[in-house]
Amino acid sequence: MALATINKRKIFGRLSIRTGNSLQAAGIAAAICALKLSESIHRAAIAAFAMVVAWVLLYFSSHAIAHWLLGRLLGIRFLFYTVGGTANPDGWPRGVRWIFENLPFFGVQTEKLSIERASPAGRAVMWSAGVTSSAISPAVSTFAAWRAGVPGSKWFFPFAVFWALGALASNWTSRTGDYSKARRALGKT
């Protein structure tokens, strides 16, 4: 994310790229374990809880690391991770905006020269990767839970799809959303 965006976010701390990647990879691994647990446990409440835990872990752990991974593949370098509130507060309704401004989301700070040198398409892909990953991977996990017959998944899967569509739409329409940054990288507003 750009420095201007960091200054608007409520930042709780900074992490090295190695530490941030390790924490997010651990979150994704824990989500996979929770999903597998939800598929194999015989107590309905615990299985449903594990499914929701997997969804939450993927939602929080897949966004910034997707920016980093695709950015690195496209030659963009990063300085550090931030942990702080959402960089897209306008994408949330007033009633829940405060909550999302205070939840611990990972962000990743690009190195200015490398982002400037990246192609417009490369910058757009890097910006699009985060929200796409944090919308799709949790929804896919609930689809997998539904296909495996996890208790509660029949009702949670539509919620997860609705949430994913809302996240995608809010990032598309918000000035501070990742898709808006991608459009600006391509010279489109």
Q: Which of 87, 86, 70 is nearest to 78 (CA)?
A: 70
E strand or H helix at 105, and its extent?
A: strand 105-110
Q: What is the pLDDT of residues 38-72, one digit of tens each?
A: 999 999 999 999 999 999 999 999 999 999 999 99
Please report the pLDDT score of residue 133 as a whole number: 97
Please report the pLDDT score of residue 35 as a whole number: 97
Q: What is the pLDDT of residues 111-149, one digit of tens each?
A: 999 999 999 999 999 999 999 999 999 999 999 999 999
Q: How far apart are CA 100 and CA 85, in angstroms?
A: 6
Choose the weakest-confidence range: 29-33, 83-87, 108-112, 139-143.
83-87
| pLDDT for residue 7 is more than 70 | no
In terms of DSSP H, where are the helices of the chain?
A: 3-8, 17-40, 44-61, 63-73, 94-102, 112-117, 120-147, 153-173, 178-185
Please report the pLDDT score of residue 170 as a whole number: 83
Return the domain boundaries, the chain. Answer: 3-185
CB 180 within 8 A of CB 174: yes
Q: Nearest 5°: phi and psi at 92?
A: -115, 145
Q: pLDDT band at 182, cuts 50/70/90? A: very high
| pLDDT for residue 20 is more than 70 | yes
User: Comparing 168 with 91, which gets the higher pLDDT?
Assistant: 168
Please report the pLDDT score of residue 6 as a whole number: 41
Q: Is 152 left (phi over 0), alpha (psi -120 to 50) or beta?
A: left
| pLDDT for residue 90 is more than 90 | no
